Amino acid sequence: MYNASLSVYYLVKIRSGMPTNRIHKRVEPILHFLSLTIGIGTSSAAMLLDLYNNDSWECWIAPLPMDCDESWKNGGETNCIRGDNASLYRWVFYYALLWAAILLVTVCMFLVYRAVLLQERRAARWGHRDTQLAKKVANQGYWYCGAFYITWLFPTVTRLTQLIAGKTPYPLILITSIFVPIQGFCNFCVYVHPRYKKYGMTFGALRTTVSRTLTSAHFLIPRRSTGPTEDGISGTIHFPQMRPSDAEEPGENASVTRSAGDSLTEEQKTEVGPEQSDATMMTRDSD
């Protein structure tokens, strides 16, 4: 429920532009009240109805014994010691609320993306540079919603199978026991993904620069021969030959750079502005 509350907070903050202090006073108390009321209310009701029992791999809402006949399936009669109609309460107290929260998160993320996209389009009309902020918000929304779907898809399939068939195959129980505890890890991946992508690109450029530097330095390292040479002296140091590209005069590169910059007339430099003029010169130098 608090994940859904967080998505509602983002929606109110970004879409409506409500000030933070007003959100703290008007929106946050409602979100806290709903989250705590639903959580404490359903757990307390399940305890009063004796619904907490052994459920294969956990202590949760389940009938006791697990293969007993529940009253909603047996015409009002039951032989369950505890937890009668637990298979229904699972959906009323948990899975219905869970998927309602997941759908709410999905809708909120879509509305946030749409609000950012419209704002970006309005800014583009006035000549502002395209920052692709909407695309970044969409990618983060995919990760945020995807963490919910990945975590709770298999547990939901397991409970549906248990509700319809009356028993659950062991592979589904195993997969459920793996995916349910990793929700926190999935949320952690969503949180660090933008930072990993940012610093990953930085370190990637750094690795490329270091690799090129080491490759260039390899041609400057003298090599010592281990065998005898023509003059009969072993261990003579042989310096590598200069490549044609290394033998260029320093003035040539400078002349190329000056010619690329001088090819722009004063009027063209005034029209494109200093930044675009520098970008043009940079492009020509790279060519």
Average pLDDT over residues 199-223: 58
Distance (Å, rounded) from C-alpha 174 to C-alpha 246?
63
Average pLDDT over residues 19-31: 90
Quick one: pLDDT at residue 57?
A: 75
Residue 97 in this model has a pLDDT that exceeds 70: yes
Quick one: pLDDT at residue 84?
A: 92
Q: What is the pLDDT of residues 101-157, one digit of tens each?
A: 999 999 998 998 888 888 888 877 777 666 677 777 777 788 888 888 988 999 899
Q: What is the pLDDT of residues 233-257, one digit of tens each?
A: 444 444 445 454 444 444 444 443 4
Q: Tell me which of 105 and 15 has the higher pLDDT.
A: 105
- For the residues of 124-189, what is the DSSP string, one character each? HHTT-----HHHHHHHHHHHHHHHHHHHHHHHHHHHHHHHHHSS--HHHHHHHHHHGGGHHHHHHH
- For the residues of 41-85, what is the DSSP string, one character each? HHHHHHHHTT-EEEETTEEEE--BSTTPPPTTTTTT----SB-TT
Confidence of residue 37 (pLDDT cuts 50, 70, 90): very high
Decide: 158 and 168 in contact? Cβ < 8 Å.
Answer: yes
Whether this model's pTM surpasses 0.75: no
Quick one: pLDDT at residue 52?
A: 93
Quick one: pLDDT at residue 38?
A: 93
Average pLDDT over residues 203-221: 58
Distance (Å, rounded) from C-alpha 6 to C-alpha 191?
13
Taken as a whole, the chain contains a residue count of 287
Q: Tell me which of 267 and 174 has the higher pLDDT.
A: 174
**Max mean pLDDT range (33-42, 160-169, 231-240):** 33-42
Lowest mean pLDDT among 7-16, 177-186, 250-259: 250-259
Locate 226 and state its tokens.
């281990």
Residue 277 in this model has a pLDDT that exceeds 50: no
